Copies of this chain bind each other. A is one copy, B any other.
């Protein structure tokens, strides 16, 4: 099955996980398609000065793959600048947040894998 980029629809989320501003999220594959192994596979767009707030994962881990833009990834207590091609891994029991610190959209893939 191929999901064409042109068919993807974004939803707007205000103050996601307590973050700043309004971000956009597009679900790329459903949890059912992914046989309940992943509960999220999404494309995220964060405009300048927006963020996904600090939150903890339990019983699952999350991977971000940065596609474009610049930001700061809060990695369970440490701030790390990120840009295209960087991979952020948040294990079960860890916390993370991500903020756009650049002047263009910060785009990344987000995948949550259930343990």
Contacts and interface: CB of A to CB of B under 8 A. Distances in A.
Interface of A: 1-5, 8, 28-29, 33-35, 37-38, 41, 43, 61, 63, 65, 67, 73, 75, 80, 82-89, 91, 109, 111, 113-115
A63 to B, nearest CB: 7
Given A63-B29, A65-B109, A67-B67, A1 B89 contact: yes
The secondary structure that dominates the A interface is strand
Question: How many copies of this chain does the complex contain?
Answer: 2
B2 A75 contact: yes
Contact of A86 (B2, B37, B82, B114): B2
Contact of A34 (B8, B33, B41, B61): B61
